[in-house]
Amino acid sequence: MDRADFQEALLRIMERKRHWAWSAFGGLVPRERLHVHFEQEYATYVRDFPVLVGRAYVQCPIPAVRQELAENLYEEETGGLVAGRPHPELFLDYPRGLGFDLARFEDVALLPGAAAYRATLDALTQARGWSVAAAVTTLFVEGTAWERGEVDPSAPKRPVKPLAAHPLVVSYGLPLESLALTKAHRSVEGEHRGAAWRILLDHVPAEAREAVVAAMEQVLAAWLVYRDDVAAACGVVRGPDGAPALAG
């Protein structure tokens, strides 16, 4: 697999990182069920994301890659470059701003799909080498279905709405000051996306590319099942037209 084929394979996987129910969390899901989404996201990967990135860092023998990963890790763990606070801590501003009980986040029972997704993240970041760990964390977990716009100037980039138009603000009344993590992500997103692609395209050896692509397919499949479980737990079903609808 040459560099161009590797890039295209990764892009096609990321373009499938779309879930049929995602739009439901912008207003369709009843407020009293929205906490399920936040709890599962937090316990499945948000809380421990710096650890997941750290696993790629400690396995990597390449100084240039470790430097990229170290910067990502430092910002996620401390917020010392942009956010001012650790990103997992900032995530809790969402449920806090919505008036949810944060005690629920101290001991979250993972849904079956969430537990399987987390097990996949652990397996791929611990036992498959630095290339796979870096791809899973910096590309899949941090990335979006709009990755093509990060490597191709002619492709559309991820749409960015004003913070006041954020679905949590418009549909659920989240205060703007509770979007600190969203603002931080927007500040570092360009550099993190660039770093992810530099790491993978410039440093993953040719003989490891197929394994990276296979791992990305694996984590995508686990993520889709995870989001299916979250949708079901929030009372969302797929309607006759394929769009999300509330059960019953």
Please give the pLDDT value at position 188: 65
CB 144 within 8 A of CB 132: no
Shortest CA distance to 37 belongs to which of 108, 142, 86?
A: 108
What is the token pair recorded at 172? 């659920």
Q: Which residues contact 41 (CB under 8 A, 6 or more apart)?
A: 91
Fold of 3-246: Heme Oxygenase; Chain A (1.20.910)
Q: Residue 162's pLDDT is what?
A: 94
Distance CA 123, CA 113 (A): 15
pLDDT in the model for residue 191:
75
Residue 16, pLDDT score: 98
Ordered DSSP codes for 140-196: IIT--TTTHHHH-TTSPPPP---GGG-HHHHHH---GGGGHHHHHHHHHHHHHHHHH
Digit-by-digit pLDDT tens for the chain (248 residues) are 999 999 999 999 999 999 999 999 999 999 999 999 999 999 999 999 999 999 999 999 999 999 999 999 999 999 888 878 999 999 999 999 999 999 999 999 999 999 999 999 999 999 899 999 999 999 999 999 999 999 999 999 888 889 999 999 999 999 999 999 998 888 766 577 899 999 999 999 999 999 999 999 999 999 999 999 999 999 999 999 989 999 97
Query: What are the residue ranges spanned by the domains of the chain?
Result: 3-246
Helix (H/G/I), strand (E/B), else coil: 108: coil
* Helix (H/G/I), strand (E/B), else coil: 204: coil
Contact present, 93 and 46 (Cβ < 8 Å): no
What pLDDT is attached to residue 193? 85
Give the pLDDT confidence score for residue 82 in this predicted structure. Answer: 82
Dist CA 2 CA 5 (whole Å)? 5
- pLDDT of res. 190: 57
